[in-house]
Amino acid sequence: MAKIYPFKGILYNKKKIKNLNAVMSPPYDVISPEQQDNFYNISDYNMIKLVLGKEFAGDTQYNNKYVRAAATFEGWMRHEILLQDPKPAIYIYEQKFSAAGKTWERLGFIALMRVEDGGRSKLYPHEETLMAPKMDRVELIRATQANFDCIFTLYQDPENKLFKAMRKSMRRKPFIDVKDQDKVVHRLWRIDSRPVINKFMKEIKDKSIFIADGHHRFEAATRFKNEMKERNTRFSEDEAYNHVMMYFTPVEGKGLLVLPIHRLVVPVPHLEINSFEEELKQYFDIKLFPYSKKTEPQARKKAIKEMEKSADRHSFVMGIKDIQRYYLLTLKSEDLVDQMLEEEKPAAYKHLDVTILHTIVMKKILGLTQEEQISYAKDIEESIAGIHKGPYQFVFLMNPTRVPDIIEIAARGEKMPQKSTFFYPKLLSGLVMNKIVHGEKIEY
């Protein structure tokens, strides 16, 4: 059962912060060091100080970015830079953006969700996580006792019941209306009407919830809950620390955009290109797109267009350092990858483009054994620069993972290879926050 609850959100005080655009930031995991400096300089009250504080050479156990985030958060609350809503609410969140030559609109809502144990949970992750970023988020929760970012989740609502309820609540002016540096518009509305909140709680309780983005944050919230539970001999599940702030959007929504994450591979010792190409031909149909320095952009564009057209046949574009041609690799038969993977893996997992690429090309042919040999990039220009100007030998440009495959794999309890999905745009940090109050119970 998916148990959601309204909460008394913490938001920026518009009487003291006149320009809300200056205090918002992207989530921590997409911010470069240069962007971090920029957000620090934009405003003394930018969310960057909470979600991704700076590290200094003299940091200690008692003075570090997590301790400073907690002190900053407490100070902003004390000086009313941030204010807590007086009534529990669910927050409607709309994003409007442009991508792939189209205008998109994504609609969802923010609420708390109870962190359930084991088989009782109807929450399904789809991606493997890494220990270091997970522990980074654990330390932040421990120090601040707060959720600054939402976990991004999906639910199925074929009858559009909650979508219609959200639309009704958007008839009045949004409480927050900001635009980020990528020109994505973010709007927020409050719902504090008990009958409407009850409708949301009722409609969502029997649904399966799928994590789209925020796997490390969810695992951090789960670990924090378990730590607190061990200290509490009267644990009842209603405790505030047994809940985490989440964003829910319907799978059927028209603004659900997944972008590809491309792969870059470090030089492979003693690789003979002709033998490599011959081995590729055992598994893939290959189409070449030769280029000169002048015609490279046109050749790349043609190769990507062909890849997109043949997405259902599992295609990707490969580039190799110092070789002036792109390769369009299209899988000859799904049976080839089926034979290499465990039988219990579902077909949707076996037939993911990222699974095919990692299983056949990277592991079997190139013999890669370490995750450090592979890097990831979301931008095509950045990916291509990796072989033309950077230290990489291979680039693989990918098609995006399909949402139905994500849902099917997650529902079966499987995890995709890392960096399989990039839901665009990211959720903005700073719209609403959740304070985890010790001794407080979440009841409604």
pLDDT digits (tens, 9 = 90+) for 418-430: 788 999 999 999 9
Average pLDDT value for residue range 359-387: 93
Strands 209-213 and 185-191: unpaired
Residue 51: per-residue pLDDT = 97
Residue 358: per-residue pLDDT = 93
Closest C-alpha to 261, from 423, 97, 427, 34? 423
Backbone φ, ψ for residue 92 (5° rounding): -80, 130
Average pLDDT value for residue range 277-282: 96
Q: Where are the alpha helices (DSSP H) in 62-160?
A: 65-78, 131-144
Contact partners, residue 357, CB within 8 Å, separation at least 6: 263, 316, 396, 398
Average pLDDT value for residue range 56-83: 96
**Confidence (pTM):** 0.92
Closest C-alpha to 357, from 314, 319, 410? 314
pLDDT digits (tens, 9 = 90+) for 256-272: 999 999 999 999 998 99
pLDDT at 344 over 70: no
- Helix (H/G/I), strand (E/B), else coil: 212: strand
Residue 120: per-residue pLDDT = 67
Average pLDDT across the chain, whole number: 93
- CA–CA dist 93, 429 (Å, integer): 12
Average pLDDT value for residue range 243-247: 97
